[in-house]
Structure 1
Amino acid sequence: MAEFLIISFFIAFFVAYIYFGYYQDYKKNPTEFIRSIIGMPLGMLASTLGFKSIDKKLKNWANKKIGYP
Structure 2
Amino acid sequence: MEYEPVLIDSKTLAERISMSVKFIEKNRNRIDGAQKIGRVWRFNWPTIMARITTGRDIIVEKGQK
Q: Work out which of the two has the higher radius of gyration on C-alpha atoms and give 1 or 2.
A: 1
Structure with higher helix content: 1
Q: Do the two structures share a fold, i.e. TM-score over 0.5?
A: no
* Length-normalised TM-score, structure 2: 0.29
* Length-normalised TM-score, structure 1: 0.29
Structure with higher strand content: 2
| Higher RCO (CA < 8 A, seq sep 6+) | 2
